[in-house]
């Protein structure tokens, strides 16, 4: 099966970047989203067709990427309105690359349901943020059948800088992403803690930032997210509530494995506190707001 027509469903930061990368790679690109603005943006970028109800053109597609927020949304996108659902509109054998962050059990359930429609799935969560998504350089951590990887190769070439084949078992890709999100969430939380402590100690934040980014304590998350704090700009590139969700998945996975996660548990509480304080839709660097009494740069959210 040769992939020429690909649809990206979920045109948020990552999905829009992936869709535009497919267009640049010469794939006939379709888009699905509930946002008129996002659909128009993709149409203006060169999409063949866009719709709030992509089952309208399901029969034309050779591959699908689903990049919505969570497993519940994936199930609604694919199976909502059964039997007259999007999955039913696709030709048998059309590979579905599910790239949302979810529990392994959900990935297995969705794969089994797709199989009932004769549709192979790639359990393929992604990372890299909007910058790498727009550049077609996302990191994909995927599991699924060898044949599904091969069929989706033109799509993977378009959207990814690095593709990890974790194995054939559904849920492995999702589990790798959950472990990754454990690290990402803890890194952001501890970066915020460090900068908050520096502020409390009277150290200028720009100096602290410069020291850390040129020393052994640096991390990609510190360098990227604490720049937002310095700018006082909490425009959401990845929101606080995303890490409430993702660290919640980390917690659920750890419980299922009977595995202790003391640092991730603390980070989860910090993000939850920030969300409850009204910062849920702010950039995830706003977790620094959980430290009270700090005179931080002016918030431009």
Judging by DSSP bridges, how do beta strands 63-66 and 96-98 pair with one another?
A: parallel
Q: Is residue 300 annotated as a catalytic residue, yes or no?
A: no
Residues 20, 137 within the same domain: yes
Q: Which of 130, 146, 169 is the last residue of a domain?
A: 169
**The pLDDT value given to residue 1:** 64
Of 107, 136, 169, which residue sits at a domain end? 169
pLDDT of residue 130: 87
Instruction: Give CA separation, 296 vs 42, 193, 212, 282, in Å.
Output: 37, 13, 18, 15
Of 169, 202, 237, which residue constitutes the final position of a domain?
169
Domain identity same for 34 and 128: yes
pLDDT tens by residue, 261-300: 999 999 999 999 999 999 999 999 999 999 999 999 976 5
Together in a domain, 15 and 130: yes
pLDDT mean for each 10 residues of the chain (301 residues): 93 96 98 98 98 97 97 98 96 98 97 98 95 96 98 98 98 98 98 98 98 98 97 94 97 97 98 98 97 85 51
Same domain, 153 and 221: no
Do 254 and 264 meet the contact criterion of CB atoms below 8 Å apart? Answer: yes
* 179 and 154 fall within a common domain: no
What pLDDT was estimated at residue 60?
A: 98
**Residue 15: CATH number of its domain:** 3.40.50.720
Domain residues for 224? 175-290
Query: Are 64 and 117 contained in the same domain?
Result: yes
Catalytic residue selected from 52, 177, 200, 300 = 177
Judgement on whether residues 270 and 150 belong to the same structural domain of the protein: no
80 plus 199 within the same structural domain: no
Task: Tell whether 151 and 194 lie within a shared domain.
Answer: no
């Amino acid at each position: 099966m040769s992939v020429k027509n690909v649809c990206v469903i979920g045109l948020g930061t990552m999905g829009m970047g992936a869709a535009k990368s497919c267009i640049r790679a010469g794939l006939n690109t379709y888009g699905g989203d509930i946002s008129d603005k996002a659909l128009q943006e993709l149409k203006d970028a060169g999409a063949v067709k866009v719709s709030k109800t992509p089952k309208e053109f399901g029969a034309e597609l050779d591959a699908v990427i689903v990049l919505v927020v969570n497993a519940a949304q994936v199930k609604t996108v694919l199976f909502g309105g059964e039997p007259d659902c999007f999955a039913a509109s696709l030709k048998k054998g059309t590979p579905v690359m599910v790239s949302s962050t979810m529990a392994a059990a959900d990935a297995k359930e969705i794969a089994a349901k797709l199989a009932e429609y004769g549709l192979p799935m790639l359990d393929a969560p992604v990372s890299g943020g909007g910058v790498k998504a727009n550049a077609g350089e996302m990191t994909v951590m995927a599991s699924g059948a060898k044949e599904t990887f091969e069929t989706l190769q033109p799509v993977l070439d378009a959207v990814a800088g690095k593709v990890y084949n974790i194995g054939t078992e559904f849920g492995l890709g999702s589990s790798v992403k959950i472990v990754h999100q454990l690290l990402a969430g803890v890194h952001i939380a501890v970066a915020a803690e460090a900068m908050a402590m520096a502020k409390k100690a009277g150290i200028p934040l720009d100096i602290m930032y410069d020291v850390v980014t040129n020393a052994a304590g640096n991390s990609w998350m510190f360098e990227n997210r604490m720049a937002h704090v310095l700018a006082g700009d909490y425009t959401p590139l990845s929101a606080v509530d995303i890490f409430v969700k993702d660290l919640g998945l980390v917690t659920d996975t750890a419980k299922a494995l009977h595995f202790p996660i003391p640092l991730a548990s603390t980070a989860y509480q910090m993000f939850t506190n920030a969300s409850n304080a009204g910062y849920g839709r702010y950039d995830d660097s706003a977790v620094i707001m959980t430290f009270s009494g700090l005179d931080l740069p002016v918030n431009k959210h």
